[in-house]
């Protein structure tokens, strides 16, 4: 296997460099080629000679000083470590480092030949084979003169606060200024629940191990490590869920949404309707795990034979396994959605109407506005005409039953939001559920309205899952929940255009909400260590950045030569970057 230098222009920094920059970057790294590699591909992918013939003149300077002071108890010494825990993007696993000497020569050549108008920085990955364990050298002709990144010795968590002053002193040694002229910026993140689920796709949604993520991002313009002890900071909370994941609190509702989507798909395909629609529907599946026809008919008989089925007082406490008291329409959805095919569904509706006409029932229906509800209510009130329903109408009736039930289920859940007023939700639902005047048993809801209903139900489902994830995983007061619930309301409840098609939630199952949180309500992070902590110090042309993380931020190929640290208790991996700016005339 041979090795060549590979240069690639990336639209954004690779994941292991995003802690100190974003945007386009030209990355240079070693690329391993097998003997069978196509020579044409090699020419297309590499524009740096394998044998660099640049002179030793060092335009990038010597490796920057990285020690933090003479106090051996607090000093952060240079070392690296390999991680096998993180799942890296495949392309980043192919980023092999160059020896530091060769990396410097390569960067010098670029600077000599440099395009002064180039806006993106050049970064060269290094193998850490110098005394400073350098893992990156960089330069940008139009912005900064150069930068150097080193991996430092892992730091015990108990020593971080005592090491803050050492970090400041190390910065001052590079910039020759006093402490009062340093501009500080600290960013830290806490992973409260779940793992990294960014870029989750429909293919991955049901396979990943976590159903969601809760994190807290904190920003401060002072040198701190414990945010709740150190004055004013900006706090943002991020909550995301993987829609349809089996571990979610309301995962039992997801199959019902899928059933509604199946009904909608059948209705929206005009080729399913015509002179032979009965034959078309005869084998069209509705349910993957159906009930026997006899069981469905018996369930209908039992349902309409109930002696008393009137509204019951609203429950004070919401139980996710028993959200609310169900009426006949709710139970009809549970029964009829288990029909094996459309023909069986049509027959079951005819059987339902005949049973309602024959059996005198005390069933009460109030506040019904959809077609099937109005029809059943009229029969119960003494309208003794047997409805004649087509298979198309039966599908529309079933969709109405399911949409109505899920809307009420979600409304029950969302009613737990502090200060929630259901008036706005009811108004939106009414606007997408127009019911024509009841003149006959033919009720044609437009496909557009059904699509809007299904999309809005998806939004309510996402809102409900987000709510339960935080409710179950984060211990906050009601005042702390308020900004979270308001954010959900604004994005997923009051804006009906957040999701416009059910297919969107299938192709993009990751949904999130972000909101500002008062630090006084973030006491749940007091016992936690940050998942990332970054200190940026700027003084004139000099910038020093320290990055702390419980796991290494570089792929194994870059840091594979160093054994893991021997530290008892929690610790952080430490990365340091020095960057020197200059103005070009």
Query: Residues with Cβ < 8 Å from 358, sequence gap 6 or more?
Result: none
Give the CB-side neighbour count of residue 512, counting CA atoms within 13 A. 17
| Residue among 527, 544, 440, 438 at smallest CA distance from 173 | 544
Residue spans of the domains in the chain: they are: 2-166+550-581, 254-446
Dig out the tokens for 266 from the structure: 């059948």
Q: For the residues of 279-305, what is the DSSP string, one character each? A: HHHTT-B--SSPPPHHHHHHHHHHHHT
62 forms bridges with which residues in the sheet?
none
Give every CB contact of residue 72 below 8 A, 6+ residues apart in sequence. none
Sign of CA dihedral 576, 577, 580, 581: negative
Q: How many CB atoms lie within 10 A of CB 406?
A: 22
* Both structure tokens of 301: 């008989």
Kindly report, residue by residue over 282-296, the tens digit of the pLDDT.
678 899 899 999 999
Q: What letter would DSSP give residue 416? A: T
Quickly state the pLDDT bin for 148 (edges 50, 70, 90).
very high
φ and ψ of 402, to 5 deg: -70, -45
- Based on its alpha-carbon atoms, the radius of gyration of the chain, rounded to whole angstroms, reads 32
Q: Work out the number of other CB atoms within 10 angstroms of the CB of residue 54.
A: 18
Tell me: the pLDDT tens digits for 433-487? 866 554 444 445 568 899 999 999 999 999 999 999 999 999 998 888 999 999 9
Average pLDDT for 383-400 = 86
Asked whether residue 45 carries a pLDDT value surpassing 50, the answer given is: no
pTM for the model: 0.82
In this predicted structure, the answer to whether residue 144 has a pLDDT above a threshold of 70 is no
C-alpha distances (whole Å) from 47 to each of 4, 8, 31, 292 are 10, 9, 12, 68
Eight-class DSSP state of 322: B
Per-residue confidence (pLDDT) for residue 135, from 0 to 100: 93
Q: What is the 3-state secondary structure (H, E, C) of 41-105?
A: HHHHHCCCCCCCCCCCCCCCCCCCCCCCCCCCCCCCCECCCCCCCCCCCCCHHHCECECHHHHHH
Three-class HEC string of 471-482: HHHCCCCHHHHH
DSSP state of 211: S
Using the structure block, give the residue that is written with the tokens 């999701």.
499
Strand-pairing partners, residue 542, are 539, 580
- Model confidence band, residue 389 (pLDDT cutoffs 50, 70, 90): confident
Lookup result for tokens 């904190």 = 218
- Burial string for 137-171 (b: 16+ CB within 10 Å, else e) reads bbbbbeebbbbbbbbbbbbebeebeebbebbbebb
| Beta pairing, strands 134-139 & 144-156 | antiparallel
Distance CA 285, CA 341 (A): 4
User: 3-state DSSP call for residue 38?
Assistant: coil
CA distance 505 to 455: 9
User: What per-residue confidence (pLDDT) applies to 388?
Assistant: 81
**What's the average model confidence in pLDDT over 368-375?**
86
Over residues 218-244, the pLDDT tens digits come to: 999 999 999 988 767 899 999 999 999
- CB atoms < 10 A from the CB of 577, how many? 23
Q: Which H or E run contains 549?
A: strand 542-549
Compute the C-alpha angle 68/74/75, nearest 5°: 30
As a whole number of angstroms, the distance between CA 269 and CA 297 comes to 29
Cβ contacts of residue 526 below 8 Å, gap of 6+? 228
First to last CA, the chain: 45
């Amino acid at each position: 296997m041979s090795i060549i230098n590979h240069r690639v222009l990336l639209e954004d920094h690779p994941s292991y460099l995003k802690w100190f920059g974003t945007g386009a970057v030209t990355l240079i790294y070693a690329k391993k080629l097998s003997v069978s590699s196509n020579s044409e591909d090699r020419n297309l992918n590499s524009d740096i000679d394998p044998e660099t013939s640049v002179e030793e003149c060092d335009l990038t300077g010597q490796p920057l000083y990285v020690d933090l002071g003479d106090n051996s108890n607090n000093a952060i010494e240079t070392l690296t470590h390999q991680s096998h825990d993180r799942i890296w993007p495949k392309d980043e696993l192919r980023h092999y480092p160059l020896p530091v000497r060769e990396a410097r020569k390569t960067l010098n050549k670029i600077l000599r030949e440099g395009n002064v108008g180039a806006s993106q920085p050049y970064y060269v990955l290094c193998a850490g084979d110098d005394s400073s364990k350098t893992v990156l050298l960089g330069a940008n002709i139009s912005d900064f003169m150069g930068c150097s990144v080193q991996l430092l010795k892992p730091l015990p968590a108990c020593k971080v606060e005592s090491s803050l002053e050492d970090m400041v002193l190390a910065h001052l040694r590079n910039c020759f200024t006093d402490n009062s002229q340093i501009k500080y910026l600290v960013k830290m993140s806490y992973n409260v629940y779940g793992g990294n689920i960014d870029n989750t796709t429909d293919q991955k949604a049901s396979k990943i191990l976590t159903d969601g993520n809760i994190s807290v991002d904190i920003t401060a313009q002072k040198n701190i490590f414990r945010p709740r002890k150190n004055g004013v900071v900006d706090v943002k909370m991020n909550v995301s869920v993987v829609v349809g994941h089996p571990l979610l609190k309301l995962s039992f509702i997801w199959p019902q949404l899928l059933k509604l989507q199946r009904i909608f798909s059948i209705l929206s395909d005009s080729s399913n309707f015509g002179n032979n629609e009965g034959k078309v529907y005869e084998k069209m599946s509705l349910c993957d795990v159906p009930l026997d026809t006899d069981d469905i008919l018996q369930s209908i008989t039992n349902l309409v034979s109930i002696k008393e089925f009137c509204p019951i007082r609203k429950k004070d406490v919401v139980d996710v396994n028993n959200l609310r008291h169900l009426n006949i329409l709710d139970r009809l959805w549970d029964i009829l959605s288990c029909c094996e095919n459309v023909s069986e569904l049509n027959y079951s509706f005819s059987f339902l109407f005949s049973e309602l006409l024959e059996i005198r029932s005390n069933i009460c229906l109030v506040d019904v506005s959809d077609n099937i509800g109005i029809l059943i209510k009229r029969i119960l009130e003494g309208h003794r005409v047997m409805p004649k329903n087509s298979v198309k109408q039966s599908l529309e009736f079933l969709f109405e039953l399911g949409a109505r039930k899920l809307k009420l289920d979600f409304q029950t859940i969302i009613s737990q939001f502090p200060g929630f007023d259901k008036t706005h939700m009811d108004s939106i639902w009414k606007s997408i559920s127009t019911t024509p005047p009841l003149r006959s048993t033919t009720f044609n809801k437009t496909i557009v309205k059904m699509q809007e209903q299904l999309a809005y139900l998806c939004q309510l489902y996402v809102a409900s899952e987000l709510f339960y994830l935080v409710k179950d995983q984060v211990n906050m007061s009601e005042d702390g929940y308020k900004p979270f619930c308001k954010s959900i309301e604004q994005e997923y409840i009051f804006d009906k255009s957040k999701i416009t098609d059910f297919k969107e939630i299938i192709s993009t199952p990751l949904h999130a909400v972000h909101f500002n949180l008062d630090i006084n309500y973030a006491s749940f992070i007091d016992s936690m260590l940050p998942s990332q902590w970054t200190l940026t110090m700027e003084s004139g042309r000099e910038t020093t950045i320290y990055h702390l993380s419980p796991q290494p931020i570089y792929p194994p190929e870059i840091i594979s030569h160093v054994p893991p640290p021997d530290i008892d208790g929690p610790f952080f991996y430490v990365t340091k970057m020095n960057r020197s700016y200059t103005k070009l005339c």
